[in-house]
Structure 1
Amino acid sequence: MSAYDDLMAFQRQTEALAQVAGRLGWDQETVMPEGAAGQRAEEIGALEAVLHARRTDPRIAGWLAEAVAPDAVGAAQLRQIRRSYDRTMKVPARLAEEIARVTSLAQGIWAECRGREDVAGFLPTLRKVVELKREEGGALAAGGDPYDALVDDYEPGMTGTAIAAMFDAMRPRLVALREKILGAEAPHGVVGRFGQEDQLALSRELATAFGYDWSRGRVDLAVHPFSSGSGHDVRITTRVSETDPFNCFYSTIHEVGHAAYEQGIDPAFALTPIGQGVSMGVHESQSRSYENQLGRSRAFTGWLYGRMREVFGEFGIGDAEGFYRAVNRVHPGYIRTEADEVHYNLHVMMRFDLERALIRGELDVADLEAAWNERFRADFGVAVDRPSNGMLQDVHWSCGLFGYFPTYSLGNVYAGCLVKALRAEVPGLDGMMAAGDVSAATGWLRERLQRHGGLYEPRDVVRRACGFEPDEGPLLDYLEAKFGEIYGL
């Protein structure tokens, strides 16, 4: 066997073990007994130690020095392996294992503290996570910006400076649009109670409509919806509020966007470094386009309105147009995952500024709640009423996912570009979606983007799919046109 073959065989086992680690995380968030949290943290820490040892195995350097890529796919494999090896070598094994162990415990502590609105109870754990992530960022940055180093883990090549510039370009138009909308008459929402089992049954129907392959997946309930896995085992979760069915339906569609990306990757790439989504920004472009540009379109909501009437009967909205307006109602709510398309990026901008300051040491963990509440009042015009609607609402920081939040907005930007190209190339799309058929859109995304996995760099795969360089313009144009029409601006 050649050095390339030896390296790929070794890497296949590493990728398989990483999938096992991901499955432990899925189990922890869905069906693990509450009393198992401490043991699970040790298990995840131990497995991370094994993975770190494999990813820093001295043989990798030798194989990389000798390996000759057989083709473009092989070159992409070597690029990803080299990048992972270089990054992992900078992080001590002790630190990698400790981060895995502490963040596993932290997720359970966060959920408990969130349930009892207890910021003080969560702060010692969060402080430990932040300290560990600062240390990791410093090790990776090697004298550079530690936050940039953490962002690079989720969006290769992206920096905090570039993200800040993107947000500076987006904010004025978003704020101006928001102010115009909030001065207009707000549409009515749905009223009534919507049973859990009926919601879950309809959410499964939605997942199927958006192309989720049930032979390689399943849906479960979780505190914070997520997607997990790749290849032939890609699982999603959702959540249910009996007074707000949109929470369940659009969380499901969002997570199906993530899952469809993983399921749509070329099967020949399975259990290889390019057998996963290339970045979280590109990942979010799929989930956000599924959820918003497609799932909240007038055409698709017309079909969903009919299905909800069949399942739930009357719920206070008299026609499909009123339902479309209700689904797209703009209001300055507390919760990011429930935010409308106009406010969503403002939520992300706030988190980006706060977490960047935390990692840089410019904001102390003890001052985070006050900083959050002050910023939220300034950006949204209302005071945070309780911690679960404030700094305790998101699971990300307990998981150590610093640098992840800005990829949501980057995904929105990519989605704006992708759907602009999609609509230009797929005539009659609205007619199909009005019948509940989203396959033309999801098929276009699978062919143009999803199947490539990590074959290309993040911006490159979006550019190839769209035919133009991605920027924030198409997203902002889409938002202004859509909500201008809805609100008669």
Structure 2
Amino acid sequence: MTAYPELCAHLRETEALSYVAERLGWDQETMMPRGAAQQRAEEIGALEAVLHARRTDPRIEDWLARAEATTAVEARVLDLAGRAYNRASRIPARLATELARLTSLSQGIWAEARAAEDPAHFLPTLAQVVALKREEAACLSEGDLYDALLDDYEPGATHRQIGAMFDRMRPRIVALRDKVLGVDRAPNAIDHVFPEAAQLRMARICATAFGYDWTAGRLDNSVHPFTSGSGCDVRITTRVVESDPFNCLYSTIHEVGHGCYEQGIDPAYAFTPLGRGVSMGVHESQSRIYENQLGRSAAFTGWLYKRMVEGFGDFGVPDAAAFHACVNRVTPGFIRTEADELHYNLHIMLRFDLERALIAGKLEVADLEEAWNTRFEADFGVKVDRASHGFLQDVHWSVGLFGYFPTYSLGNVYAGCLNKAMRAEVDGIDAALAEGTAKPATDWLRDKLQRHGALRPPRETIFHACGFEPSEAPLLDYLEQKFGAIYGV
């Protein structure tokens, strides 16, 4: 009779400590003095050693054997706790600690190399990270090494499933992209300076419009935008380029999607395995639908255009329709986080193939830059001009997030499904967006998906929200309708 509450008490303390570790990572990216990197790596490594010991505590196995679920919630807690214990127990404490220490250190080295356009400064450390991730995958694998890592971010998914999805998506995306790039009515890029302080004020206005709870969060700058935390402390970051306000504004809206998911989970699930987003694919469905189907809609960009004129004066865009086209401008740019909706998944396909090859040992770190540049030119028709526009642009590999990238495309696919279902059920979404609030849409998302946390597996979570099995078709239909209208193709 005591096994389940004893297990939950242990999990609660472990989750609380994991939040502390996450906060150390947030501080490292936003406020930590540059000279503290080595010390912070040791701190994070020491805390990971404590967490690993708790996650592999032999009592968990005993509690799981004796606990009896009386509700569906309790059954899901036991299922997730058992899965976590099984995975953690396969990884030696030495490896878990060294990975935490090295990836903390690697993050700073990557940032330095990116700023200095110096790949050689980062490659030796990346090689160490890849070696440790290969070792971790070997500990976890029951077959394919990459699948073992992917399962951390999208439980149940395999590289074959993802690859097949990409094979179905690529022809329609490329065909539409080529049609769009072939027309003469493409909008010009904005040529104006947007001061940092004013951009951040506008970013806060946008975050508020999408329902971000400022009493349980904050907005800061970082090299690579991210979200940290859950429940009552969910922090987001953005970055500012004074010549490109969309970088800041849409990075903010994207992270608000993540943040609202975590803020919206039922408080009863706090400090349990249900108290986080169920997978990164589902998480990305929230950030991508906030950013794209809602944030880049004609309704919202019409409202945003008025706020931009108020905040920045005349910036060379004559009206709301032209501004909507600018926001959705299709161009084969280098940077994934700034990519339009047509090129975005091509960015992910590139990373997916390269990181699979790295983990399989078919591609060595020393050859990564050349492999990236060759593939990018083939897919985008543009030569990479510098490392920060190439393989140094993303933080993910420096911190060991191998298997994470395909969840961005899964998020796009899931967002397409959610958008289709939401608009069939909810009236007044665009009218509200035109007034500067996403509330009808975000209320639906909170009720159908966010509040449930990890109660259901990923695909079941989307099915429960939408009422149909997830597929890439709604996303592709949406893209063809939207960009067909903007570009007349």
- What TM-score, normalized by structure 1, do the two folds share? 0.99
Kept after mapping to 1: 8 A contact 2:211/2:439: yes
Distance (whole Å) between structure 2 residues aligned to residue 94 and residue 209 of structure 1: 46
Aligned to 2:159: 160
Amino acid at match of 1:176: A
Matches within 5 A, 1:261-340: 261-340=261-340
Residue 87 of structure 1 and its aligned partner are, at CA, apart by 0.5
Distance (whole Å) between structure 1 residues aligned to residue 31 and residue 421 of structure 2: 41
Aligned to 1:388: 388
1:417 correspondence with 2:450: no
1:148 correspondence with 2:147: yes
Amino acid at match of 2:164: A
Distance (whole Å) between structure 1 residues aligned to residue 161 and residue 469 of structure 2: 15
Secondary structure of 2:138 counterpart: helix
1:457 correspondence with 2:457: yes
1:170 correspondence with 2:164: no
Aligned to 1:439: 439
Residue 166 of structure 1 and its aligned partner are, at CA, apart by 0.5
Amino acid at match of 1:159: T
Aligned to 1:245: 245
Amino acid at match of 1:210: F
**Corresponding residue pairs, total:** 488
Distance (whole Å) between structure 1 residues aligned to residue 55 and residue 312 of structure 2: 52
Amino acid at match of 1:160: H
Residue 191 of structure 1 and its aligned partner are, at CA, apart by 2.3
Residue 192 of structure 1 and its aligned partner are, at CA, apart by 1.2
Aligned to 1:225: 225
Secondary structure of 1:411 counterpart: helix
Secondary structure of 1:32 counterpart: coil
Amino acid at match of 1:340: D
Residues 186-210 of structure 1, C-alpha deviations (whole Å, 9 max, x = no match): 1123221111111101100110110
Distance (whole Å) between structure 2 residues aligned to residue 291 and residue 280 of structure 1: 16
Residues 324-371 of structure 1, C-alpha deviations (whole Å, 9 max, x = no match): 000000000000000000000000000000000000001011110000
Distance (whole Å) between structure 2 residues aligned to residue 6 and residue 428 of structure 1: 47
Kept after mapping to 2: 8 A contact 1:413/1:470: yes
Kept after mapping to 1: 8 A contact 2:257/2:287: yes
- Percent sequence identity is 69
Residue 429 of structure 1 and its aligned partner are, at CA, apart by 1.4
Unaligned runs of 5+ in 1: none
Residues 135-185 of structure 1, C-alpha deviations (whole Å, 9 max, x = no match): 00011004x111000000000000111100000000000000110010012
Secondary structure of 1:310 counterpart: helix
Residue 102 of structure 1 and its aligned partner are, at CA, apart by 0.3
Amino acid at match of 1:333: G
Distance (whole Å) between structure 2 residues aligned to residue 429 and residue 21 of structure 1: 38
Unaligned runs of 5+ in 2: none
Amino acid at match of 2:34: E
Distance (whole Å) between structure 1 residues aligned to residue 359 and residue 293 of structure 2: 34
1:47 correspondence with 2:65: no
Distance (whole Å) between structure 2 residues aligned to residue 361 and residue 369 of structure 1: 15
Residue 394 of structure 1 and its aligned partner are, at CA, apart by 0.3
Residue 69 of structure 1 and its aligned partner are, at CA, apart by 1.3
Distance (whole Å) between structure 2 residues aligned to residue 298 and residue 189 of structure 1: 18
Distance (whole Å) between structure 1 residues aligned to residue 208 and residue 431 of structure 2: 19
Secondary structure of 2:443 counterpart: helix
Residues 26-45 of structure 1, C-alpha deviations (whole Å, 9 max, x = no match): 00000000010000000000
Kept after mapping to 1: 8 A contact 2:428/2:440: no
Aligned to 1:13: 13
Distance (whole Å) between structure 1 residues aligned to residue 157 and residue 192 of structure 2: 45
Kept after mapping to 2: 8 A contact 1:231/1:271: no
Residue 289 of structure 1 and its aligned partner are, at CA, apart by 0.2
Distance (whole Å) between structure 1 residues aligned to residue 244 and residue 90 of structure 2: 46
Find runs of 4+ consecutive structure 1 residues off by over 4 angstroms.
none
Kept after mapping to 2: 8 A contact 1:188/1:317: no
Aligned to 2:27: 27
Residue 428 of structure 1 and its aligned partner are, at CA, apart by 2.1
Residues 354-396 of structure 1, C-alpha deviations (whole Å, 9 max, x = no match): 0000000010111100000000000000100000000100000
Residues 374-427 of structure 1, C-alpha deviations (whole Å, 9 max, x = no match): 000000001000000001000000000000000000000000000000100111
Kept after mapping to 1: 8 A contact 2:191/2:315: yes
Distance (whole Å) between structure 1 residues aligned to residue 236 and residue 432 of structure 2: 26
Secondary structure of 1:204 counterpart: helix
Distance (whole Å) between structure 1 residues aligned to residue 114 and residue 48 of structure 2: 27
Distance (whole Å) between structure 2 residues aligned to residue 389 and residue 370 of structure 1: 13
1:4 correspondence with 2:31: no
Matches within 5 A, 1:109-120: 109-120=109-120
Residue 432 of structure 1 and its aligned partner are, at CA, apart by 1.2
Distance (whole Å) between structure 2 residues aligned to residue 175 and residue 48 of structure 1: 43
Distance (whole Å) between structure 1 residues aligned to residue 193 and residue 457 of structure 2: 46
Residue 431 of structure 1 and its aligned partner are, at CA, apart by 1.1
Matches within 5 A, 1:95-110: 95-110=95-110
Matches within 5 A, 1:75-114: 75-114=75-114
Distance (whole Å) between structure 2 residues aligned to residue 216 and residue 435 of structure 1: 25
Residue 2 of structure 1 and its aligned partner are, at CA, apart by 1.2
Aligned to 2:373: 373
